[in-house]
Homo-oligomer: A and B are copies of this chain.
Amino acid sequence: MDISGWRKKIDDVDRKLAALLNERASAVVEIGRLKRNTNLPIYEPDREREVIANVQQSNKGPLAARDLARIYERIMDVMRSIQKHEIVPEDSPASHETEIDSQFED
């Protein structure tokens, strides 16, 4: 297969990735709704370690465990912002404070 063939394959994988990332975001929003009625914080370091351990255990390569961790740090960072907006509505004054966390890092 030539480069253009591999890129078509990547585009196909990317559409599936986007769909799964959205499926994950929907679950995160649901958890955010449930958290409104509890004292659970948005940032739960133990749960985040559990998430990383789960993907690393299922990892068959060629990505290194560390590569997956780097990607998941960003995924969880984005998902945390979404959950924050679910708990603190957009139009509340507190929501503006959280904007800083969701800025582009690079």
Q: Which A residues are within 8 Å of any B CB, using their own CB?
A: 1-3, 6-7, 9-11, 13-31, 34-35, 38, 40, 47, 51, 54-55, 58-63, 67-68, 70-75, 77-78, 81-82, 104-106
Contacts and interface: CB of A to CB of B under 8 A. Distances in A.
Contact of A68 (B21, B34, B35, B105): B21
A21 B78 contact: no
B11 A54 contact: yes
A71 B75 contact: yes
Given A30-B6, A62-B25, A106-B105, A17 B20 contact: yes
Contacts of A74: 70-71, 73-75
B55 A15 contact: yes
A9 B35 CA distance: 17
Given A70-B78, A82-B63, A58 B19 contact: yes
B60 A71 contact: no
